[in-house]
Amino acid sequence: MDCRYCIDNLNFKVKVADIETKCKYHQKEGLIYPALALAPQGLCLQLFYAVYPDCLAVLYNGSPVRGRLRKKGIQEAVAGCPAPQGVRVRIKSEEILPAPLRMLKEMGEELCKKFYRALNAPWRRVVIEVIKVGAHCPKGYKIGDVFEFNINKKEQLCPAGFAVVYPYLRLSPDSLCVHCPDYVGVTYEVSIDQAPALQKRALMHNFGAICQNYNTVNLKIRYSFQNKEEEVTLKDILPENFCVLAFHSVYPYMQTLFSGGWFNWVNYGEDVIVNCPATKGIAMYVKPSTENSPRVFEIEVMKNNCSCYKRYNLGDKFRFDFKQENAVRYKLLDGIIPFFAEFYSRENSLLNFSCDYQGEGIQYQAELEESNFAGNKL
């Protein structure tokens, strides 16, 4: 039995092509990760992509307070695969250190921020537990099956790297270079053995073509939330002129901040910097919300590139308001992005999805509309 949302049967690999700055996951160029090493063992890749933003939010839950212990953020979330009536999981964090040692660790982090630099040492386990098995899932999951989010295993691809490359695993039968979200991080080379079903997608062999086509696709998204029917387009979801691919990179970081989290490697008065997936793309500050606007996050372009389709300038700013109506739409769009390749190639003009928002299941539908989207060959 096959699942039309799953691509685990494709023969693809991800290579560490270039390292600007070594990270705890990738220390050496040339390392190759086959499909089995991209996600926790046994976990469907599509499901892992869907739950990644919540895993990140749970891992980095709690925001620091200068000179005091961290505030608590969300420690548990529910998410699921995009298949209607699909698998649902509970994501939860488990502290590794006992409370007294955890207090000492946080005090040490405060000293590092003051005299050296912020350190990325969450010291938590994040587990993904199946709470509902899918009606037609071929994986054979059972309620209670548990998978562990990769915190520091070098034999698996970095989870942030996986989340950013995953949509392009559906795209190119040859190869494509994708930049990780880290501003001075890793460039991955994604390659897939020739597959007849992917022939129509091969035209988008670089990010100039991908960016142009993804930003001109005309999708209508219909969904029902809290007994209210809605229909929106990409223009209704994203700030004016904000790139779909840039959104794909920054969304998990905004979601973590919105959930009351913070990134251990970011010091007071600093902002997390996220790179778009293009190897010669833009980099963006993700600015946290303020007391006066607790749901609003600002994205500011801090590095531009003349080859960028959007032609951004340094200092360009975009505002994301995570009021409930918008937060739901951001989550829906993030779930659709891996399937843009199917809309591009016109293999499908209508797809049905599901997701969870704060524990409530949402069924939604994305439909391709006629537009200037014409499959440009760049």
Beta bridge partners of 220: 233, 367
Structure tokens at 161: 């790297």
Per-residue buried b or exposed e for 331-357, using 16+ beta carbons within 10 Å of the residue's own CB: bbbbbbbbbbbbbbbeeeeebebbbbb
Highest mean pLDDT among 133-137, 169-173, 261-265: 261-265
Q: What is the mean pLDDT of residues 265-278?
A: 91
User: Looking at the domain assignment, is residue 307 inside a domain?
Assistant: yes
Residues 6+ away with beta carbon under 8 Å from 293: none
What's the confidence (pLDDT) of residue 377?
39
Tell if the pTM clears 0.95, that is, is over it.
Answer: no
Structure tokens at 73: 């953020």
Distance CA 163, CA 214 (A): 17
Q: How far is CA 172 from CA 35, 47, 162, 168, 219, in A?
A: 15, 21, 16, 7, 22
* Beta-strand pair 228-233/219-225: antiparallel
DSSP 300: E
pLDDT, one tens digit per residue, over 33-62 is: 998 899 999 999 999 999 999 999 999 988
Number of domains in the chain: 1
Q: What is the mean pLDDT of residues 345-365?
A: 85
Closest listed residue to residue 17, CA positions, set 191, 160, 186, 192: 186
Residues 6+ away with beta carbon under 8 Å from 119: 109, 112, 264, 265
**Which residue has better confidence, 184 or 343?**
184
User: Looking at the domain assignment, is residue 378 inside a domain?
Assistant: no
Distance CA 58, CA 55 (A): 5
Whole-number average pLDDT of the chain = 87
Distance CA 95, CA 75 (A): 10
**What angle (nearest 5°) sits at the alpha carbon of residue 164, between those of residues 74 and 243?**
95
User: Looking at the domain assignment, is residue 285 inside a domain?
Assistant: yes
| φ/ψ bin of 346: left (φ > 0), alpha (ψ from -120 to 50), beta (otherwise) | left
Structure tokens at 46: 């599509």
Distance CA 102, CA 49 (A): 30
User: Looking at the domain assignment, is residue 77 inside a domain?
Assistant: yes
Distance CA 264, CA 107 (A): 13
User: Looking at the domain assignment, is residue 83 inside a domain?
Assistant: yes
Structure tokens at 188: 């991955």
Confidence of residue 287 (pLDDT cuts 50, 70, 90): very high
**Which residue has better confidence, 301 or 97?**
301
User: Looking at the domain assignment, is residue 299 inside a domain?
Assistant: yes
pLDDT at 306 over 70: yes
* Beta-strand pair 296-303/317-321: antiparallel
Domain containing residue 38: 12-368
User: Looking at the domain assignment, is residue 331 inside a domain?
Assistant: yes
What's the confidence (pLDDT) of residue 110?
78
pLDDT, one tens digit per residue, over 240-249 is: 999 999 999 9
- Please report the beta strands in 7-87, taking only residues with DSSP state E, as ranges in sequence order: 12-19, 32-34, 76-80
344-351's contacts with Cβ under 8 Å and 24+ in sequence apart are: 344/201, 344/204, 344/213, 344/214, 344/217, 344/373, 344/375, 345/200, 345/201, 345/375, 346/200, 346/375, 347/197, 347/200
Count how many Cα atoms sit within 13 Å of the Cα of residue 149 in the half-sphere of its side chain: 31
pLDDT at 65 over 90: no
Q: How far is CA 59 from CA 9, 95, 250, 314, 332, in A?
A: 29, 10, 17, 31, 22
pLDDT at 207 over 80: no
Q: What is the mean pLDDT of residues 104-119?
A: 78
What's the confidence (pLDDT) of residue 325?
94
Distance CA 114, CA 122 (A): 18
Q: What is the mean pLDDT of residues 260-274?
A: 89
Crossing angle of helices 244-258 and 207-214, rounded to 10°: 70
Distance CA 174, CA 39 (A): 22
User: Looking at the domain assignment, is residue 252 inside a domain?
Assistant: yes
Please check whether residue 261 is in contact with residue 106, taking contact to mean a CB–CB distance below 8 angstroms: no
Q: What percent of the chain has pLDDT over 70?
A: 92
